[in-house]
Structure 1
Amino acid sequence: MDLSNQKLYDTIIVGGSYAGFSAAMTLGRSLRNVLIIDSGNPCNKQTPHSHNFLTRDGVPPGEIAKIAREEVAKYPTIEFYDGFAVNGSKISEGFVIKTSDGNSFKGKKLIFATGILDSLHDIKGFAESWGISVIHCPYCHGYEVRNKKTAILADGDRLVYFTSLIKNLTDDVTLITSEINASNADNIAILKRNGVKIIEKKISEIQHHNGYIEKVIFYDGTAESFEAMYAPVPFRQHSNIPEELGCELTDAGLIKIDESHKTTLDSVYAVGDNSNMLRSVSLAVSSGSVAGVKINGELSAEMFS
């Protein structure tokens, strides 16, 4: 495909939502030509309310994103393309991003605001309750389920720390684990000393009403009522393009960045959940602003040399 006569954007932002729109606004206010490629499929689409974001506390995430897009669209140098980016490559002028419908776009700089995909447990009712009453973060959701009967479906080295955050919000905490073994016995002992109940069973189903948990059904046929469940789950990158271009990932599977959100590949940045374990709207917005400032500075320096 001949791209020689195609428009060269100052920056292509892959992924919209909070981080991408924030970066776009920063660049648009500096008169940079920006293209946002977004498929409109954020990972928090099922979450009813967003929290810990000043002036928008308790507002549905989709409403925040809608307002953000409307505000960004007021800047005439910012364009939108509704599509899914599937491939990226390096060219002499910068980069080419291809979309699933066969279109290609050129940009001097890239920002990936592509988010992550949660690998949900294969438990009946889990996916339908995810982000509603089966939750991952006490800072995002904990206040709303404070003092409620709460389950934790988790394990690992950070189990005690994570549980301590939940125990601060409610005294009625139960850890559900399918197996207690030598590797987690010390953690279990600490939890028991701090009043955490332990259920050593495997879950077969989460009974819920419109995503709000009512009961946990176990494979042995027994059941336990709960009002909320914390379940940190594994994740993977929503887009493979950064890694395919040569961006390094951390051991945790996040895109490796520096303090300005630049990846290990020159002229490529990552913002939002794809590069930050602390998933929140406020931090996503902040990361987009930082990357936008840094990229505008690079573009200015390149033009001024």
Structure 2
Amino acid sequence: MTENKTYDVIIIGGSYAGLSAAMALGRSLRKTLVIDSGKPCNIKTPHSHNFLTQDGKSPKEISAIAKHQVEQYDTVHFYEGIADSAKKTDGGFEIITRDGKQFISKKLILATGISDLVPDVKGYKESWGISLIHCPYCHGYEYRNQKTGIIANGDRAFHLASLVKNLTSEVTIFTTGKSTFNDQEKETLKQNEIDIIETEISILKHQNGYIESLILSDGREIKLNAVYAGFTYKQHSDIAENLGCEFTENGHIKTDHAQKTNIPGLFVCGDNSSMMRSVSSAVMTGNVAGAMVNMELVTDRF
């Protein structure tokens, strides 16, 4: 816990994006506070992939290395807790934590991520992030040439199917209700030997998060090794909305190429503002946000 109250920059969220922003700011000698609860959304994911130099390591291990490296910059401080609210002030921002602490800063970076709205089906939550997965680039290689399902419908399912078919010949789409594919999409899926099952799913059978099969509401059991899912999500924090940020039609915080929002002095990075849910993307957007915030601070004084 830090005793300081006033900072150049406050970063809410201390996972990959937040730590990346903090490193850029620490290297620019900016007095920075990272507020983080220590509960990332990928806490159960056993391995992270597609990130050079860290491929195959656990998310927890990568975060620990990142935090240790950021801690070497003595202008960066950490506070373990939850930021409950933020207020725009004449001089910047005022942050109140759940335990009543108050911090102020000239600039604010939100690296707060999103929360997946996993349906209440037996086995889903236990398997989410392990073998019930969201991204072929993050997990697809490990499940190549294996029996794979896709729980989604319409455009999302069709998009996933095109990617997953490249990794395995055994693909089945579960729309959990009447499919919404158009005639051309249905024909394309048929040509690629991808079955469509519209029956509801009752149970996802697994062992410690590793899928064995899906049991349908009509009693059928479909053997599978992995399942991709296009679940909906929400912003993990309501701070951006309460500050007046604009959002995309997909529910992400709207930002420009510099990770800047429509609120002066407020930047965002990571999953809260991007469809690309990968460690490498989070690190990239965090680095941009940190650099651009520093540039604004330079411009404000120079």
Q: Please, what TM-score do these two structures have when normalized by structure 2?
A: 0.96
1:171-199 CA-to-partner distances (Å, cap 9, x unmatched) read 00011123335654542332112111222
* Matched residue, 1:147: 145
Q: Is the 8 A contact 1:110 1:269 kept in 2?
A: yes
SS at match of 2:153: coil
Partner Cα distance (1:225, 1:251) in 2: 36
* Matched residue, 2:136: 138
* Matched residue, 1:238: 236
Are 1:259 and 2:263 counterparts? Answer: no
Ranges in structure 2 where 5+ consecutive residues have no aligned partner:
none
* Matched residue, 1:188: 186
Change (3 A) 1:181 1:299: closer
Q: Is the 8 A contact 2:47 2:56 kept in 1?
A: yes
Q: How do 1:1-305 residues align onto structure 2 when only pairs under 5 Å count?
A: 7-180=5-178, 184-304=182-302
Q: Is the 8 A contact 2:151 2:157 kept in 1?
A: no
Tell me the percent identity.
54
Change (3 A) 1:26 1:227: same
SS at match of 1:108: strand
Q: Is the 8 A contact 1:23 1:291 kept in 2?
A: yes
SS at match of 1:157: helix
Q: Is the 8 A contact 1:159 1:187 kept in 2?
A: no
Ranges in structure 1 where 5+ consecutive residues have no aligned partner:
1-5
Give the Å deviation of 1:215.
Answer: 1.3
SS at match of 1:284: helix
Partner Cα distance (1:88, 1:145) in 2: 42
Partner Cα distance (1:16, 1:182) in 2: 39
Partner Cα distance (1:204, 1:61) in 2: 30
CA RMSD between the two structures: 1.2
Q: Is the 8 A contact 1:154 1:176 kept in 2?
A: yes
Change (3 A) 1:180 1:61: same
1:198-235 CA-to-partner distances (Å, cap 9, x unmatched) read 22211000010000000111111121110000111100
Q: Please, what TM-score do these two structures have when normalized by structure 1?
A: 0.95
Q: Is the 8 A contact 2:11 2:33 kept in 1?
A: yes
Partner Cα distance (2:262, 2:131) in 1: 37
| Letter of the structure 2 residue corresponding to residue 179 of structure 1 | G
Partner Cα distance (2:265, 2:13) in 1: 17
